[in-house]
């Protein structure tokens, strides 16, 4: 079976985020981001997550998002569902924890 020409390209479903604040958090030195939501003016407290489809070739690299915990965690919070339970995240701009600690020592944090 031949694939139609418009399906020759691989696509990815992504969720857009916006930055919170003008600069990274002072303590973590990581940017905070939040999900972009589509809301209606009559019910701004209810929003649905925006998604879009982009060609896979438009993606330059993946990022690691760390949920922003506000208060005690519920029992249902697990790593495999944390992206669904939170709307604010730290954008991890460090390669891994060893790189973070190496930079923290170098910068006398």
Yes or no: say if 89 and 66 are a contact pair by the CB < 8 Å rule.
yes
> What's the pLDDT tens digit per position in 9-66?
888 999 899 999 999 988 888 999 998 888 777 777 777 888 899 998 898 877 888 8
pLDDT tier for residue 100 given thresholds of 50, 70 and 90: low
- Average pLDDT for 59-78: 80
Determine if the pTM surpasses 0.75: no
- The string of DSSP codes covering 39-85 is EETTEEEEEEE--EEEEGGG-----EEEE---SSPPTT--TTTHHHH
34-71: burial string, b at 16+ Cβ within 10 Å, e else: ebeeeeeeeeeeeeeeeeeeeeeeeeeeeeebebeeee
Cα dihedral 27, 67, 37, 93, rounded to 10, equals 60
User: What is the model's pLDDT at position 108?
Assistant: 59
Domain spans, the chain = 5-106
Distance (Å, whole) CA 92 – CA 65: 6
């Amino acid at each position: 079976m031949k694939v139609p020409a418009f399906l020759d390209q691989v696509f990815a479903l992504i969720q857009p985020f916006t930055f919170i604040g003008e600069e990274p958090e002072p303590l973590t030195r990581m940017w905070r981001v939040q999900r972009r939501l589509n809301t209606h003016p009559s019910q701004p407290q209810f929003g649905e997550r925006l998604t879009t489809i982009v060609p896979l070739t438009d993606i330059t690299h993946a990022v690691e998002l760390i949920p922003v915990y506000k208060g005690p965690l519920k029992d249902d919070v697990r790593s495999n569902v944390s992206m669904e339970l939170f709307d604010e995240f730290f954008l991890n701009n460090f390669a891994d924890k060893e790189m973070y600690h190496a930079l923290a020592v170098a910068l006398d944090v």
